[in-house]
């Protein structure tokens, strides 16, 4: 059986965008379900995600058109501001994911280098092997410390996004009354 067709209203879009900014579902996909549950309309996580992506893509197109028409002053409402923030969050998350993949690749390459050096020098003397081992351990330690710093920065960024979302929801709820 086919699901009932539903439409998002302007108010629903604004509330949806506020929730997306507050919960950052680009980082944790399970947040789409939470967002769907907070909306006053009956919809699932997929529809919420697709609606958000549709709004973001339309906004990107609008921004591209606006850049072509330089010098024209356009009205910039709350929805546009929220879409800019959602777009920024999604782009930052994409960059973060790429950086994580790059770090994982570097870590894997460091492991391969360690294994190559270990297998190639299995006959070498104790002092030489110990010095090399220390060097390799230093490399691994450096990579793990960088990863730890990166995770702390991501947690701080998530806290900032959460606070920004709370502030936006407060402003939005205050304006709707």
- The token duo for 159 is 């806290």
Total number of residues shown for the chain: 177
Q: Which of 148, 27, 41 is closest to 16 using CA atoms?
A: 41
Q: Output the pLDDT for position 146.
A: 81
Whole-structure pTM value: 0.54
pLDDT > 90 fraction of the chain, expressed in percent and rounded: 9
Are the C-beta atoms of 165 and 18 separated by less than 8 Å?
Answer: yes
Q: Could you report the per-residue pLDDT of 113-143, keeping only the tens digit for each?
A: 877 776 655 554 444 555 666 666 667 777 7
* Separation of first and last alpha carbons in the chain: 39
- CA–CA–CA angle 57, 60, 63 (5° rounding): 155
Q: What is the mean pLDDT of the chain?
A: 79
Domain boundaries, the chain: 10-176
- Which pLDDT band holds residue 171 (cuts at 50, 70, 90)? confident
Q: Output the pLDDT for position 47.
A: 92
Residue 80 to residue 62: CA distance in whole angstroms = 10
What is the residue-wise DSSP string for 32-67?
Answer: HHHHHHHSSS---HHHHHHHHHHHHHHHHHHHHHHH
pLDDT at 170 over 70: yes
């Amino acid at each position: 059986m086919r699901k009932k067709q539903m439409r998002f209203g302007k108010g629903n879009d604004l509330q949806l965008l506020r929730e997306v900014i507050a919960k950052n579902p680009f980082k944790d996909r399970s947040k789409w379900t939470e967002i769907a549950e907070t909306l006053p309309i009956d919809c699932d996580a997929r529809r919420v995600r697709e609606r958000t992506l549709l709004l973001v893509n339309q906004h990107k197109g609008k921004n591209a058109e606006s850049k072509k028409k330089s010098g024209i002053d356009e009205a910039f409402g709350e929805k546009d501001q929220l879409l800019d923030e959602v777009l920024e969050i999604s782009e930052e998350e994409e960059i973060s994911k790429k950086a994580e993949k790059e770090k994982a690749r570097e870590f894997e390459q460091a492991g391969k280098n360690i294994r190559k050096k270990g297998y190639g020098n299995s006959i070498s003397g104790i002092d030489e092997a110990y010095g090399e081992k220390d060097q390799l351990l230093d490399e691994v330690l450096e990579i793990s410390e960088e990863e730890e710093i990166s995770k702390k920065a991501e947690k701080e960024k998530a806290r900032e996004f959460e606070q920004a979302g709370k502030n936006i929801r407060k402003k939005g709820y205050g304006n709707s009354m």
